[in-house]
Amino acid sequence: MADSVVGQILLFAAGAVTAIISMWLGSLVFFRLMERRERRRLLQTQLAELVSQAYEVEQWLRRLRSAELLNGPPLEEPSPMKQVNMIARLFVPELRAEVKRLNSAVVAFEAWVEQGAAEKRSERRITQATLDKYPVVQRAVLECITELANKAERVTRR
């Protein structure tokens, strides 16, 4: 009789321990899955913002060109490239190479604008050679943005 009571107590204790461990493991797995889902959601949000800001860079460069070379309204807002760089650095290291290429294309575009502005100040006009470079520098920026957007899409799917 004592053996049967001890056996029942041991069975009950083993069952209770198993239930506690199962609940603990279930909670741990659940929270890990939720954490992974939340991290993925944050990554997708940051990728969307990164690509959006990259397209804004192209618009900002057009406004820069207009302000400096075509007597358009002055450009008062800062370049969105700062935002692109920050998001890539903090959230999406996989896109650093594409962002670096975009940075280079933006610097080349800004140098082209500076060259045109210098010609406009000194010669009162922009030379045809400088004007002919516009499609090249613009295309370089657009290609970098497209490359960045395509890679961001691939990163989102992983």
Q: What is the pLDDT of residue 145?
A: 97
Q: Which stretch of 31-35, 60-64, 80-84, 137-141 has the lowest confidence by average pLDDT?
A: 31-35
pLDDT at 4 over 80: no
Token duo for residue 133: 């470079």
Confidence of residue 33 (pLDDT cuts 50, 70, 90): low
Confidence of residue 136 (pLDDT cuts 50, 70, 90): very high
pLDDT at 38 over 80: no
pTM here is 0.76
pLDDT at 58 over 70: yes
Confidence of residue 34 (pLDDT cuts 50, 70, 90): low
pLDDT for 89-116, tens place per residue? 998 889 999 999 999 999 999 999 999 9
